[in-house]
Structure formats: structure tokens, C-alpha cells
Structure 1
Amino acid sequence: MHKTRILRTILRFLARWRLVWIILLSSLLLSGCVQYQAGINFDNPNHGEIIQHIKLSDRLMTFSGDSATEWLNSIERRARKLDGKVKRISSEELAVTIPFNNGAELASKFNEFFHPTVKTNTAVSQPSELPVVKSQLNLNQNNFIFLLRNRLVYELDLRSLSLISTNGNVLVNPSEILDLEFRLNTPWGAKSVETDENAVQPEIIGKQLVWRLLPGELNHLEAIFWLPNPLGIGSFIIILFVACGIYLRYRFMPDPTIQLAQNLTPETKTT
């Protein structure tokens, strides 16, 4: 009789905390199940690339293979729509490269990639079980004749990736499951701006700024970087070339007006 009471108590305890155990077990099984790297490479003001590298663990593919595969396929479709290239490394890993030609095209393609226009008659749609992530990238450029000052601001809302229980308490840290980062690579490096309350401090690796994104939170990424201005530099070279030509013309060659006057003088005297 005593043993039966103990057994019932244990069963009631396990039933009460079943949700907790399920989530904790899932976190152990799926630890580091999504590795997601996004970034921007600036070669020069007139060319750059939006890059993405996504790798899903075998355990995630086992638990949710259909949804994960559809998510990767949707990324591939969106990239090709924006004239991007997709390298399918394996069934659970792919790399995306989307080119852009200027700052305005960068912001346009980046925001369209993460927030594609969905048509009502579209046959294929994003699986409803995938969380909605809000993001907005802005790039402001100021012309200083020979240089372009760029201010990049990226707002990323990852609160939908939080794993919470019914009473509102976070049971599992989403960073244990998701490994997310954003990289900014520029020719002369960049300086991080961390004035916003949700600002994420980056790590500096060579000329790259690397932000470790925080799942379940608002992420504010901001940086300032400089690029050479080809239009200003080209205009200066043309002006310099013309000025040098004029100087050499009148410095080492006779003035054509004087020479013309000398040629006309004999005729005038004869007349």
C-alpha cells in the first residue's frame, strides 16, 4: 500500500512537469541545430554581395524534415528571383550569393529577400509553423567628393524565436538551439555605433564586424564605414588632366594668337 502511494506521487509529479521535461530534452537533442550566417560584402561602391550560409543539423532534419526542406527551398527561390546564385552543398546546407551595384539596390534586395511580396494566388507559401522574423535594413550615403560615408542600420526582431512556457517563463534559451550571426565586410573596415538600447556589440575580425545575434530579443546593428567615390575621383582626374594639358600647351609652345599676329604683319605692311 505504501509503495502504491509513492508510485502515484511520482506519476503525478512527472505528469505535472511533462512539458518542462519535453522542452529540456528537446534542447539537449537539438542543441546547435541551426547555423545561420548572413552578411554583406562591399568590394567597392559599385559592387557588392549579400551572402547567406545556412546549415541544419541532421537531428533537426529528422524531427522536422519536411518543414526544414521547404524553408531551404523557399530561400533558394527568393535568391534566384533576385538574380542570386545558390550552391546546394547538401540536403541540409546551402550558400546564397546575391549581387548588388549600389547602396540603394543593396537595401532594396536585402529587404525584399527577407520580406518577399506574397501574392494571394501563389501556389507555394511559407509553412505556417515557421516563426515570422521582422527585419529592416537602411543604408544612408553622403557624398564627400572623393569619399562616400555610409551609415548602415539593421533592425532585426527575433522575439518570435523565443521558446516560452504557458506561464510566460522562458524554459530554454533559444541561443542554445540557434547559432545566428551577421557580418559586414568593407575594404577599409567599419566602426560600430552602439547608442541604441537594443544595440548588439560586434566582434572585430580583420576588416569584418561580426555580430552574434540574440534569438528571442530585438537586435539593433549599426555601423559607419567609408568607401572611395569613383565619380568624384574620376572627375578630379579629368580636371587635372585638362589643367596639365593647358599648362603644358602655353608653357612650352608659342601662343597661337601671337603667332597669328606675326604672320599677318607683313601683309599689312605691303598693303
Structure 2
Amino acid sequence: MSAPTAAQAMAAAVARLRAAGVPDPARDARLLLAHAASVDASRVTLIAPEEIAPEIAERYENLIALRAVRVPVSHLVGQRAFYGRDFKVSRDVLDPRPETETLIELALSEPFDTVLDLGTGSGCILVTLLAERPEAQGVGLDLSESACLQASANAVLHGVHTRADIRQSDWFEAANGRFDLVVANPPYLAKSEMAAVSPELRLHEPEMALTDGLDGLSAYRVIASQAQGYLTATGRVLAEIGWQQGADVARIFKAAGWGRVRILPDLDGRDRVLWADTPA
């Protein structure tokens, strides 16, 4: 009996993933076959008619079995694309997500020479900003030592490590000096929202990066009360928010005395980024 073709293996994988409730099973089956066969995803069509080698079939079977229990594709292939670059990821950090690219665009809309990234995680925000601004220097802070190691690895991967200082820190604890830009993608899910999030998030990404275990607003209170002490005179804060949190986050920053507070939308038109500064 001949071995199945790559196309047949992929069709079986799609059916298995669909039965497991995986969103977009065809895309995931394709990406995982490419990874198992060590080819670019764009070449999967070319190998589709060919018989699949036993070692590739075994590797593919293992990957599909893990995806069926909702391990994220990014964890299985070890990376995720963000703002045109691939970032190494693991279960120790939150996956970079497309909506966070809105924060990147806003950060790049005005000049900055120094940036502080709170809760840096994979380092995707800090590393991207430093890669886009070759003269800038940055500091990334995270409570998780594993996240700091992951961010440092991504800084090396993208050639910005000489300009990125990654430190383990509880919010501003290890920060010093002043910055033109303070950025953050803090844990903003309320404890009550956690039961409704996808299994990929709930089971395979760090809970401390998703929720404060309370109302989802704790980080914004810390940033609102302390960030002014770390900003230059013309500095600004940009923080990602949950799409229903705009009014609450704006209220927190206005109450803390910020001169200008704006809530800006992502490409889907949903509230996504807080912009706060203190113009003269």
C-alpha cells in the first residue's frame, strides 16, 4: 500500500481539526504541513501531489494532534509574524497580535529617541520600534524572567540588542531616567472575562499577561499614576486597551491629571489604544 500524498494527509488533518472545533482548520493544516516538511507555506501546493515521507507524516501527525487540543500554531512552529517580522514565541509570553500593530503605527507617527516598554513579553513592541527607528534606544521591563529571556532573544534576532536593555521588573520598579515614549500592552481582561476566551489563550498563554485577576484596569491605574515621572517634557504614553475599556481608561488618566487623553481605534474601528500626554 502506497503512502498517502501530502494533499491526502492535509485533507485528513483539516477534517480532524474541524471536528475539534479549531477555527480556520484549512489554514492551520497547511501551515503545519509546511513546518513538518520544512518548506515555505507557499510551496505546499507544489508538494501536494507527492507521497509524504514517513518521518514527515509522523511529525505532521504529532503537530495536528497538538493543534487539535488547541495548542496555538505559533507555539508549534515557534514563531509568529508581527509588523513584517517573525518573532520567536513560547507559552511564556503572549503571542504578538495584529491589533497591536495599531499601537506601533501611532508610536511611529511622532519622533522619539528613547522608549520604555512596560510588560515587554516577547519584546515585539520594543524590538519593532527600535528596528523601525535605528537611532532610538529602549528599555523593556517584565515581571517574568522567562519573558525577559524571550524578549532578549528577539532583540538579538532582529539586531537591536545593543540598543535594548531588558530588565526584570514589577512595572516601573527597575526603571530610571526619562523617556520620549512609554508603551504598554498590559493584561486587560477582567477575571470575569477569562471563562469566555479561546482555549488557545486560556490554556496555553500566560495568565498574568492576560488578566489582573480583578477588573482588568489595574495596570492603567499604575501607569496613570506613575508614568509622568518617567516622561520627558514632550513625552507620551501609548497603551493597548480592551475594545470596551475606552471610557474607563480615559477616566483613570484624566483623574490622574494628564493634560490630553485620547482613545484611538484599530483598523476594525474599535477602541484599541490610549494616547496620553501633558502638553504645556
Tell me the TM-score normalised to structure 1 length.
Answer: 0.31
Name whichever structure is richer in strand by fraction: 1
Name whichever structure is richer in helix by fraction: 2
Structure (1 or 2) with the larger CA radius of gyration: 1
Of structures 1 and 2, the one with the larger relative CO (CA 8 A, separation 6+) is: 1
Tell me the TM-score normalised to structure 2 length.
Answer: 0.31
